[in-house]
Chain A
């Protein structure tokens, strides 16, 4: 490790600590705004440090830089535009949309990492988190889009239950288990990844459609926790501690927050998830 890289590793550590601190400050109305700014500053520093790290390694091509910078610019401008122009009342669905793209980024990251990997270098310690990353990330991608659509009124807010939903979900569960095993056995083959992603995308829809619009904030918070977990899995795939810390942080705090939100509405999370199914007792977790 060069001196620059060592310094950057410590910068990443400081940024991760500030993300935790920022989230903690957001617990109280008096310090919430400052907490968000601390968190945003830490994120900016981490992004710049990553840019320096990439330049230091020197392996990136000119095309790579163009792709990297234009991707950052396009994404930032789109995010800024939506965040500044959205009506106050439409904010929850926008958060859901941002959550969806975060999950989508985690999925693409794992797919592209395995695509780049050399044969023989992919152990189960990489392919298992990659599979979980794609599974959880794809579920949150479509799940969050459906949740946003319900809040926006693009999809009817009432619980949409279709016949055989339980059977479809059970079938998808089997596909999840099978394709993760397949992925571990053949990590460089594109087929298991595609099957897994397709099944997870469908499950995101079948999971959220039967839930009523009033419960959407709790569902978005749950999907937010899912994305955090997917990002932590992406950290395992890349071997990046910062992603693991931040992802685990959001996964756990998102889970607690989901419970708090459900409690505030006098609902249990289990009740909400199986809501549209009547008295069903099936598991609707992420596989």
Chain B
């Protein structure tokens, strides 16, 4: 898919403004989980890696695509699971841990 450059830049600029606004007064104890959460979100790169694999060709291309997909998937799954573990420590009251495991 090709995007109009102006549209893409518009989306980028608005995305940056949203990113600035979405972080407000965060208590210091949540700094590390929030960093980890943001870290998992940029695991979205796995989608790009998947799309690249779909058009890859030749052994070298497949090797690059495989590593890219594996790296991206590791970022996503590991990121969400480790964030969930961090946030689990904040649970003072023992509620039902039904929502266990946060990643696909």
Complex contacts, B73 vs chain A, CB 8 Å: 71-76, 79
Q: Classify the secondary structure of B's interface with A.
A: helix
Of all chain A residues, which has the CB nearest B22?
Answer: A24
Check A250 for interface membership: any CB of B closer than 8 A. yes
Complex contacts, A236 vs chain B, CB 8 Å: 8, 12
For chain A, the bracket of interface size reads 35 or more
Q: Classify the secondary structure of A's interface with B.
A: helix
A91→B85 contact, CB < 8 A: yes
A27→B26 contact, CB < 8 A: yes
A246→B44 contact, CB < 8 A: yes
Q: Known contacts A35-B37, A43-B104: does B70 contact A74 (CB below 8 Å)? A: yes
A-B contact count (CB 8 A): 376
Return the CB mask of A53-72 against B: 1 if under 8 Å, else 0. 11001011001100110111
Check A47 for interface membership: any CB of B closer than 8 A. yes
B5-26: which residues lie under 8 A (CB-CB) from chain A?
Answer: 5, 8, 11-20, 22-26
B68→A109 contact, CB < 8 A: yes
B31→A260 contact, CB < 8 A: yes
A36→B18 contact, CB < 8 A: no
Complex contacts, B54 vs chain A, CB 8 Å: 54, 57, 59-60, 64, 68
Q: Known contacts A106-B45, A239-B2: does B50 contact A50 (CB below 8 Å)? A: yes
Complex contacts, B77 vs chain A, CB 8 Å: 75-76, 79-80, 83
For chain B, the bracket of interface size reads 35 or more
Q: Known contacts A44-B104, A71-B73, A260-B26: does B32 contact A246 (CB below 8 Å)? A: no
Q: Known contacts A102-B71, A257-B35: does B53 contact A71 (CB below 8 Å)? A: yes
Check A209 for interface membership: any CB of B closer than 8 A. no
B58-88: which residues lie under 8 A (CB-CB) from chain A?
Answer: 60-62, 64-88
B47→A29 contact, CB < 8 A: no
A29→B66 contact, CB < 8 A: no
Q: How far, in angstroms, from A26 to B26 measured CA to CA in the complex?
A: 9
A166-205: which residues lie under 8 A (CB-CB) from chain B?
Answer: none
A115→B61 contact, CB < 8 A: yes
Among B3, B30, B62, B69, contact of A29 (Cβ-Cβ < 8 Å): B30
A43→B18 contact, CB < 8 A: no
Q: How far, in angstroms, from A254 to B18 measured CA to CA in the complex?
A: 12
Complex contacts, B15 vs chain A, CB 8 Å: 232, 244-249, 252
